[in-house]
């Protein structure tokens, strides 16, 4: 079952000094830590809702193969409006969704694994009787969540009669699910300092003939075009110029021998970019192989480095 995620990082009604997604924590930054832990659990797609300092945040994570949506009205809207934005986008891309505010980055990878192992339609982790983040919901609940207009945000939406009876509480030994990080002092507590991401492996898949022509970068670029219908949006999310985007496409087409995109310039109905059937099939096969490669790499990592991790613990 495919699980995606929505990370809420728009900064709704949060003082500037308390909005720190790029604050250092456990050897990386808050936003990168969250994304890394989600990727280790094969969560995809990952949608990040940005707002305050959007350019800086998006540039900071531009090579992490996530989708960034900008909530330009973050100063006058509520966090639940960002939830709705993410749900509208991700609705048809996965069967389950993890929802988590960026200010709760100290959860453990084991907590994600426990959430993903449940067969329930919705679940939340519980530490010593207190519910925390992230929250897992079935995509089947998205219509009910989108129809909620009450004053209590996500908490109120989850308490609707159509959803509440299906929410499983999963006890975890993870204090991080309830610890918010809003100041540097929050990262310097004993718990915050200890939350370094464990040693892990990262694999990258490249395809080449005379030279490398297909890899993680162009896969991210084509995935963004496929998701957004806009090459310009894909270029913006990857923080590269439109001309560089075209060069990447043309270089790959020269090696692959077939067109990657169908494009239409703006007009009364607006412009668009979409993958050709052949390039979409190629991308899907690349992503499937990449996923299997990652799984095999983790198996080998456990074989060769698993004992070292146990000794460190």
pLDDT tens readout for residues 186-211: 666 555 555 678 888 989 999 998 88
- The fold for domain 207-293 equals Arc Repressor Mutant, subunit A (1.10.10)
Question: What single DSSP character describes residue 166?
Answer: G
Share of the chain above pLDDT 90, in %: 72
pLDDT higher at 313 or 28: 28
Domain locations along the chain: 3-194, 207-293
Closest CA to 292 of 219, 208, 178, 205: 205
pTM: 0.89
Architecture of domain 3-194: Alpha-Beta Complex (3.90)
Q: CB of 146 within 8 A of CB of 84?
A: yes
């Amino acid at each position: 079952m495919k699980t995606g995620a929505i990370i809420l990082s728009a900064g709704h009604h949060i003082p500037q000094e308390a909005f720190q997604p790029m604050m250092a924590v456990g050897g990386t930054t808050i936003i990168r830590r969250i994304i890394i832990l989600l990727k280790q659990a094969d969560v995809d797609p990952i949608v990040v809702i940005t707002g305050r300092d959007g350019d800086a945040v998006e540039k900071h994570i531009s090579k992490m193969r996530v989708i960034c949506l900008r909530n330009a009205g973050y100063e006058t809207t509520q966090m639940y409006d960002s939830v709705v934005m993410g749900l509208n986008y991700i609705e048809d891309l996965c069967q389950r969704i993890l929802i988590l505010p960026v200010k709760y980055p100290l959860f453990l990878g084991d907590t994600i694994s426990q959430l993903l192992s449940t067969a329930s339609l919705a679940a939340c982790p519980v530490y010593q009787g207190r519910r925390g983040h992230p929250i897992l919901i079935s995509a089947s609940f998205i219509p009910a969540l989108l129809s909620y207009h009450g004053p209590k945000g996500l908490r109120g939406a989850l308490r609707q009669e159509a959803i509440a009876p299906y929410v499983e509480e999963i006890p975890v030994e993870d204090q991080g699910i309830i610890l918010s990080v809003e100041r540097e002092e929050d990262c310097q507590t004993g718990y915050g300092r200890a939350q370094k991401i464990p040693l892990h492996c990262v694999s990258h898949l490249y395809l080449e003939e005379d030279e490398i022509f297909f890899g993680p970068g162009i896969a991210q670029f084509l995935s963004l075009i496929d998701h957004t219908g806009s090459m310009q949006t894909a270029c913006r999310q990857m923080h590269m110029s439109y001309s560089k985007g075209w060069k990447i496409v043309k270089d790959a087409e020269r090696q692959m021998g077939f067109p990657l995109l169908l494009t239409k310039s703006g007009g009364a109905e607006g412009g668009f970019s979409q993958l050709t059937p052949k390039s979409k099939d190629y991308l899907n096969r690349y992503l499937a192989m990449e996923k299997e490669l990652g799984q095999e790499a983790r198996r080998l990592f456990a074989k060769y480095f698993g004992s070292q991790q146990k000794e460190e613990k």
